[in-house]
């Protein structure tokens, strides 16, 4: 062992040198390696960050909203705008008013909920779920299935095979249209303040899609309304009901009053004195008694002013074959099966709405006006307070004009080719459109050209136009509605139900102690006539559209292809006010018993701040349901007041002056 050589350990210096050599080698290798890249901020990152920020703010605000005291929003509003007035129910409760007459609500078109009772496979799991109203969740989840189930049979106007959609019942049927968007809820809450409850309030819900008489044929709705009113009168000490229809519900209840007194089987068999025994007052809100021009554009091109603007901005999304959505085509296919929409086609022809060279509203000034308070009382039985100005000449009688130049031209200079009897020509649609049938596929290029070559349509020729473009739809409409003026109301012809919703072709019931009110908003530009153009030719589109490029000056009545007039944003003053201002005023052939009529207008005042929501002085067609002045009028009448107690008429528009221009035999 001792002979073996032992290895000497390396000196400490040599080990240190080796470590330095290794580090130098690493330094020489590092520069050849790619340096680490810094991550760039992309558009996707920005979008995700923005969405996350919005969601975080939303949840934070939602938390604060649920955590704060219920009175906090009112406190903030009062801090900004000053003390808020008491709601009408609280105010009148302090005055000592109590519930007296039972109240019946009659909702209008689209505001009542509809639920599914039977459907196809695509609607599994939706039994008794709302298809219309509420959150509209199914519209987003399965839009084509939703359209299929809300459409009616194109031949009968009733349920398609295998589908049953029925109206929601009770006050919840139309208290809110969607979460947070009230319809009747504010009025119901204020009535409750003076003692009303569900046994003294009744929501006369009905399927607003089908014709008025068919609501009785399919659902016996008219019979149910009759029975409920009789029950409410009997269980409330014989006190008559106050009926409050809104929008199309006004026409529906007009139909009911004639139905209930007519003999069975067509009518309800109540006798000629039924209304006199059971109804104290009918307080019509925003009633389209004589129709609305926008009903024509809805049937003609599935448009109104707002839709026309959207269609011009995004035509590929709304009506062309973009990802095969064909939005407007599906809307038109669905709404053209709703017979109720035809109840609002303008009635009375050129006598009421004007012709090529005149209209009752001629001289109306569209310049913005100073807002008035709803507390201001303006009553004038001969001519209302109107704005005098050098107004532009607007041919409101020309409801549809193809081209701005045609709308403004002298009638003698308009060259027109009659479309009636024109050969419709070859079919312009291809096979991809057949699942969205609208009757335009049957017109062909020849028919479309004939419609445009007629240039201008008044209320007298609108019906011929609709018969030409949609004969199957109008065949159903002709069976249930009429739009003329009766020459002789004693003619047995007018006993048919198709005339009952037209105030110019039927008599009011014999009930001289009953009262009829026409209550509506004014001071909002409302659609009255339209400028049209042909749509760009494609395989799958609606061939006509409002010409949104047709504009006047800043204060002009022509805005975005639409001629505007005074109204509630939906119903022109002429339609809402004429019957109570003149057609039914005193004893006329339409009101032989002289039922007292009153015109109550509510001048629109928009909310001062966002905290006021939809406002308490709104005159808009639906928002007026929260108007404090209107609610107060209703509660006073329900508590026993009469039209005389309210101060008779309250008028801000020129309805009396315009009514005098209409030469109708009364």
| Nearest-angstrom CA–CA distance, 391 and 556 | 9
Which residue is catalytic, options 151, 211, 247, 340? 247
Q: Yes or no: say if 416 and 470 are a contact pair by the CB < 8 Å rule.
A: no
Alpha-carbon span 493 to 499, nearest angstrom:
9
Rounded Cα gap, residues 521 and 405, in angstroms? 32
Burial class (CB in 10 A: 0-12, 13-18, 19+), 525: middle
Taking alpha carbons only, the member of 470, 428, 132, 442 closest to residue 296 is: 470
> In sequence order, which residues have a C-beta less than 8 Å from that of residue 445 and are 6 or more positions away?
425, 426, 428
Q: Is the dihedral of CA 187, 193, 197, 201 positive or negative?
A: negative
Decide if 426 contacts 441 (C-beta within 8 A). Answer: no
Catalytic hit among 319, 339, 568, 654: 568
Look up residue 290 and give its two tokens. Answer: 């004589």
| DSSP string over 17-74 | HHHHHHHHHHHHHGGGSPPPPPPPPPHHHHHHHHHHHHHHHHHHHHHHHHHS-TTHHH
Angle between helices 459-469 and 293-301 (to 10 degrees): 20
SS (H, E, C) 630-662: HHHHHHHHHCCCCHHHHCCCECCCCHHHHHHCC
Pick the catalytic residue: 401, 621, 633, 659? Answer: 621
- 568 belongs to the catalytic site: yes
Which residue is listed with tokens 């969607």? Answer: 178
Spatial contact of 562 and 305, defined as CB atoms under 8 Å apart: yes
Q: DSSP characters for 262-282?
A: SPTTTS----TTHHHHHEEEE
Q: In sequence order, what are the beta bridge partners of 522?
A: 603
Q: What is the DSSP letter of 591?
A: B
Residues marked as catalytic: 247, 568, 621
């Amino acid at each position: 062992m001792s002979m073996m050589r032992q290895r000497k350990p390396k000196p400490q210096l040599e080990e240190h040198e080796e470590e330095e050599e290794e580090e130098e080698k690493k330094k020489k290798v590092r520069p050849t390696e790619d340096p680490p890249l810094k991550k760039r901020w992309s558009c996707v990152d920005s979008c995700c960050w923005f969405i996350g920020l919005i969601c975080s703010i939303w949840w934070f605000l939602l938390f604060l909203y649920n955590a704060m005291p219920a009175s906090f929003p009112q406190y903030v509003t009062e801090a900004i705008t000053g003390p808020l007035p008491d709601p009408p129910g609280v105010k009148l409760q302090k005055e000592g008013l109590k519930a007296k007459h039972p109240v019946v609500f009659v909702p209008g078109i689209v505001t009542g909920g509809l639920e599914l009772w039977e459907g196809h496979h695509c609607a599994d799991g939706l039994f008794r779920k709302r298809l219309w109203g509420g959150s509209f969740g199914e519209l987003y989840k399965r839009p084509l299935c939703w359209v299929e189930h809300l459409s009616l049979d194109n031949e009968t106007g009733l349920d398609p095979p295998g589908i049953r959609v029925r109206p929601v019942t009770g006050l919840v049927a139309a208290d809110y249209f969607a979460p947070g968007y009230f319809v009747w809820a504010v009025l119901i809450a204020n009535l409750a303040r003076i003692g009303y409850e569900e046994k003294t309030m009744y929501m006369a819900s009905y399927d607003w899609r089908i014709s008025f008489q068919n609501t009785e044929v399919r659902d016996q709705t008219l019979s149910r309304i009759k029975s409920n009113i009789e029950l409410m009168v009997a269980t409330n000490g014989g006190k008559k009901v106050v009926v409050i229809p809104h929008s199309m519900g006004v026409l529906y209840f007009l139909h009911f009053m004639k139905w209930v007194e007519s003999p069975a089987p067509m009518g309800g068999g109540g006798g000629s004195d039924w209304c006199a025994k059971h109804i104290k007052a009918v307080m019509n809100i925003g009633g389209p008694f004589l129709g609305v021009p926008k009903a024509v554009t809805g049937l003609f091109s599935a448009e109104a002013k707002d839709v026309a603007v959207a269609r011009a901005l995004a035509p590929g999304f709304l009506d062309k074959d973009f990802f095969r959505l064909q939005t407007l085509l599906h809307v038109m296919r669905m709404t053209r099966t709703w017979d109720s929409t035809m109840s609002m086609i303008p009635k009375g022809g050129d006598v009421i709405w004007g012709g090529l060279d005149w209209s009752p509203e001629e001289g109306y000034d569209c310049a913005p006006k100073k807002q008035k308070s709803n507390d201001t009382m303006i009553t004038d039985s001969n001519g209302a307070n109107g704005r005098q100005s050098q107004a532009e000449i607007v041919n409101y009688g020309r409801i549809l004009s193809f081209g701005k130049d045609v709308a403004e031209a002298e009638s003698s200079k308009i060259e027109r080719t009659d479309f009636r009897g024109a050969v419709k020509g070859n079919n312009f649609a291809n096979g991809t459109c057949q699942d969205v049938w609208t009757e335009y596929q049957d017109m062909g290029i020849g028919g479309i050209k004939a419609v445009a070559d007629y240039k201008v349509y008044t209320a007298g020729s609108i019906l011929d136009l609709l018969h030409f473009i949609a004969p199957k739809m109008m065949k159903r409409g002709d069976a249930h509605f009429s739009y003329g003026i009766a020459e002789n109301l004693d003619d047995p012809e007018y006993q048919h139900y198709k005339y009952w919703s037209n105030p110019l072709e039927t008599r009011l019931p014999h009930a001289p102690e009953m009262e009829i009110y026409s209550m509506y908003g004014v001071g909002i530009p409302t659609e009255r006539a339209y400028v049209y153009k042909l749509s760009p030719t494609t395989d799958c589109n609606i061939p006509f559209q409002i010409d949104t490029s047709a504009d006047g000056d800043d204060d002009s009545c022509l805005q975005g292809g639409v001629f505007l007039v005074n109204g509630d944003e939906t119903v022109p003053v002429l339609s809402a006010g004429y019957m109570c201002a003149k057609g039914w005023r005193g004893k006329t052939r339409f009101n032989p018993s002289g039922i007292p009529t009153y015109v109550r207008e509510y001048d629109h005042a928009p909310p001062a701040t966002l905290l006021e929501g939809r406002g308490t002085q709104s005159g808009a067609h639906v928002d007026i349901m929260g108007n404090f002045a209107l609610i107060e009028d209703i509660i006073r009448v329900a508590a026993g007041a009469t039209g005389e107690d309210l101060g008779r008429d309250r008028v801000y528009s020129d309805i009396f002056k315009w009514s005098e221009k209409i030469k109708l035999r009364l």
